[in-house]
Structure 1
Amino acid sequence: MSRVDMAHLKQWVGRQTSDVDTLSIRHAHLMAATLGLDPAALVDGAPLPPLWHWIYFLSGSPPSELGRDGHPARGGFLPPVPLPNRMWAGGRLEFLAPLPLGASVEKRSRIVSVEHKQGRSGELVFVTVRHDVLHEGRIAISEHHDIVYKEPAPPGSRPPSAAPAMPAAQHSRRFEPTSTTLFRYSALTFNGHRIHYDVDYCREVEGYSNLVIHGPLHATLLAMYTEEVAGRSLTTFRYRGMQPSVLGTVLTINAHASGSDATVWTALPDGSVSMQADATFG
């Protein structure tokens, strides 16, 4: 029998929240340090690199309001899905205007759907949130963010994901996150999810072999690499997590560009894909 009461969860569709933040140059410099980048170009008025808006609009709950996984307890803005594991599954973004560093910006968020599915490992619930980031009253980024909830896999039992067919890579770069990388990215995004810093919790509760590399970190690396190899700014970016990657894994960031389109992906040492994305340029 399903543990999921979809009639109850669908009451969250349409819920909204908003926030205002300043695109701090200091915070951007800390992100650059986390990724080993030169911060010299990150000055007042410079465009925020793609997906770096995720390090802003931070909120935190006191310890008494956190779940066992380190996330806020469920039932606030996001619905109280009873499945224990929560993952950053993917998303779609439109880049309509640059966001200048130092500017005051607004984010408006709304739950647009809650869907129940049956996966290979059991029940899944997908929650899609629309985020609009506005500068001077106009939408600069329109984003749909997909969150998936699922049952934990017993340790060592995670089935391999179906491998998508990728084109031949025209450009490649290796990236190996360290425990410090994961710690710093969690700190920059105020992400308390224990899969990124508590190895015992990873293995004993959520069934991972080691600390998990953040999904949004994957997506950020892909988006930045796409702009680098194309020499142009992104217009759209659609990404999907295929399988988790863990600490100790060397990631190969690959890109294949054709005209105004590009496919990018992070490959694991065995050639399988951890995250893939499709991008367009203006």
Structure 2
Amino acid sequence: MSETLSPELQSWIGRSRVVEEEVGLSAVRRIAGMLDLDPGAFRNGDLLPPHWFTLFFADVARQSEIGPDGHPKPGVFLPPIPLPRRMGAGRRVTIHDSLRVGEVASKTAEVAAILPKQARTGFITVLTMRHTIRALGRRGRQVIAVDEFDAIYREAVKPGEKSGTGAPVPAPTDAAWRVEKHLSAPLVFRYSAVTWNAHRIHYDADYSRQEEGYPNTVQNGGLTMQLLLDAAVAHTPGTLRGFSARLTRPIYVGDTITLCGHAPRDGRMMAWVQDKDGHLCAQLDCEFA
């Protein structure tokens, strides 16, 4: 494949669409239950944790628009990148405010960049989406957050090839705090339901092994970041105002991971996820005010 962007894909750069959603109390309570919080503690008008905006604004495709991997087909919401496997890789987020329970808000999704290139593991394309979250109604069109999200598209798995088997990197050993979390199948299912994510690698073990080369069903990277952000916020004074995140190694449903972090310093803190073997799986750099 060529590292030159096709005219069709080039035409997608700069395209945008808007998704509106009511931040409903019932949805917030389902999210709270999934995260092992008291659902009854939330009321209309309450401010949500700053990073919870990522749990809303799902792209709702018609069933006929779903591809064999469970994602919407290429060209429905995202550019028709001609590579079959898609995984989240990282994000850069600036947070200005928090959503409130019961208000109407919107996400403007813009195709910021499409970068095809030859990587060590084969030909890939990196898609960067820029999501701008706004509160509507009585707050006008206040910007809540700007989220740049990277997804990597890869070639199909060759017969006998395995995914996620690159050389591991050891996690840091100087954590100031640690929290163990078991990634049970019901937890991953509930997160996928909350975020309307039907990617089959998260629940269909046969598909995950046979079509994408993983040894098991794969933990959802969004859930990994959610759990790590929750732990980072709980261990840091102040209000979360931004973060950058990077996923470095697959984690599998049924694993027990350790959420770790350094002590905050000058309003910044680094946190990470390590697997049961002490390998680095995700890293997070947070800014607090």
User: For this structure pair, what is the TM-score category when the shorter chain's length is used for normalisation?
Assistant: over 0.9
CA shift at 1:235, angstroms? 0.9
Q: What are the residue-to-residue correspondences of 1:1-282 with 2, within 5 Å?
A: 1-2=1-2, 6-135=6-135, 136=139, 137-153=141-157, 154-156=160-162, 158-161=164-167, 163=169, 166=172, 168-256=174-262, 257-282=264-289
Deviation sequence 1:56-77 (CA, Å, 0-9, x none): 2233223321111011110133
CA shift at 1:160, angstroms? 2.3
Contact 2:51/2:229 (<8 A) preserved: yes
Contact 2:274/2:280 (<8 A) preserved: yes
Q: Structure 1 unaligned segments of length 5 or more: list them.
A: none
Distance in 2, Cα, partners of 1:86 & 1:101: 32
Distance in 2, Cα, partners of 1:198 & 1:120: 28
User: Counterpart amino acid of 2:108?
Assistant: R
Distance in 2, Cα, partners of 1:94 & 1:158: 30
Contact 1:155/1:203 (<8 A) preserved: no
Change (3 A) 1:150 1:229: same
SS of the residue 1:226 aligns to? helix
Distance in 1, Cα, partners of 2:163 & 2:104: 46
Change (3 A) 1:157 1:132: closer
Distance in 1, Cα, partners of 2:170 & 2:114: 26
CA shift at 1:38, angstroms? 2.2
Contact 1:251/1:267 (<8 A) preserved: yes
SS of the residue 1:75 aligns to? coil
Distance in 1, Cα, partners of 2:65 & 2:4: 22
Change (3 A) 1:3 1:203: farther
Contact 2:3/2:116 (<8 A) preserved: no
User: Counterpart amino acid of 2:278?
Assistant: G
CA shift at 1:269, angstroms? 0.8
Deviation sequence 1:66-113 (CA, Å, 0-9, x none): 111011110133111111110011101111012111111111111110
User: Counterpart amino acid of 2:252?
Assistant: V
User: Counterpart amino acid of 1:272?
Assistant: H
Identity %: 33
Change (3 A) 1:96 1:161: farther
CA shift at 1:164, angstroms? 6.7
User: Counterpart amino acid of 2:145?
Assistant: I
Contact 1:29/1:39 (<8 A) preserved: yes
SS of the residue 2:26 aligns to? helix
Deviation sequence 1:96-153 (CA, Å, 0-9, x none): 0121111111111111100012222101111111111111311111110111101244
Distance in 2, Cα, partners of 1:184 & 1:149: 25
SS of the residue 2:241 aligns to? strand
Distance in 1, Cα, partners of 2:170 & 2:119: 17
User: Counterpart amino acid of 2:55?
Assistant: I
How many pairs are equivalent? 282
CA shift at 1:157, angstroms? 5.4
Contact 1:95/1:234 (<8 A) preserved: yes
Contact 2:19/2:59 (<8 A) preserved: no
Q: Which moved more, 1:153-162 or 1:42-51?
A: 153-162
